[in-house]
Amino acid sequence: MSSEKEPLFSAKNLKLITTPLGAQNPITIQVLGICSALAVTVKMEPAIVLSISVMFVTVFSNLIISLLRNTIPARIRIIVQLVVVASLVIIVDQVLKAFAYEVSLQLSVFVGLIITNCIIMGRLEAFALGNKPWPAVLDGIGNGAGYGFILIIVAFFRELLGTGFLTLPGLGAIQIVPDIFYQWGYANNGFMILPPMALIVVGIIIWVQRSRDKDLIES
């Protein structure tokens, strides 16, 4: 134990939150969690609610695994991680059904799909197993946010260009493209709401990010 106590929000700790938003983004750089990024980005609302749920699970699974890290036998560590993640997801699902029934209806299958999100297991393996609880919590926040932020950008473009609406939690569907545009001959691009366009939008984000940050380009 070091006698000097590191401040809770030291520069090193803050970096744990900021790097997953940019240079170590789980989706655009590490290409983890792509499956759900493709599946739930047709509308803004499920994308936002899923981002929050994933963040909750990354934070708490990182915390629990980090607390247990010195006791977990190496040979069954993946199983232990899976049990922790699955239990958290079940807890989220059950609590939502009891206290926020309408939200749970909107999320339907996506809550269960959090278990299969590669980011969560990836962070447990790569970070929580080797770090103290507090940095692990920050890492969970950072990666949850980095994932959610890309999800929301993708959903924004897909919903706007595909339907002309944006659906926000609590506000419902809001028409963004005015009717007059349609009278002038503008048409929604129905292709945007099909899964392949999610991949292309993620691809464009990766392209933009790499062209702005030359460090990310492999030699």
Secondary structure (3-state) at 61: helix
Site membership for other proteins, residue 97 (CB under 8 A)? yes
Cβ contacts of 165 within 8 Å, gap of 6 or more? 159, 173, 174, 175, 176
If the CB atoms of residues 47 and 138 are measured against other proteins, the closer one turns out to be 47
Site membership for other proteins, residue 170 (CB under 8 A)? no
Site membership for other proteins, residue 162 (CB under 8 A)? yes
Q: How many residues bind other proteins (CB under 8 A)?
A: 32
Candidates 4-12, 96-104, 114-122, 123-131; binding stretch for other proteins (CB under 8 A): 96-104
Candidates 88-96, 115-123, 133-141, 142-150; binding stretch for other proteins (CB under 8 A): 88-96
If the CB atoms of residues 95 and 204 are measured against other proteins, the closer one turns out to be 95
Q: 211 is written with which tokens?
A: 């062209």
Q: Which of residues 11-40 bind other proteins (CB under 8 A)?
A: 40
If the CB atoms of residues 126 and 194 are measured against other proteins, the closer one turns out to be 194
What's the rounded Cα separation, in Å, for the pair 77 and 136?
17
Site membership for other proteins, residue 95 (CB under 8 A)? yes
Site membership for other proteins, residue 184 (CB under 8 A)? no
Site membership for other proteins, residue 87 (CB under 8 A)? yes
Q: 40 is written with which tokens?
A: 């739930």
Site membership for other proteins, residue 105 (CB under 8 A)? yes
Q: 81 is written with which tokens?
A: 């991680």
Residue type, 97: K
Q: Which of residues 116-155 bind other proteins (CB under 8 A)?
A: none
Q: 140 is written with which tokens?
A: 């969970």
Q: 144 is written with which tokens?
A: 């949850």
* Closest listed residue to residue 51, CA positions, set 127, 106, 114: 114
User: 């933009």: which residue's tokens?
Assistant: 208
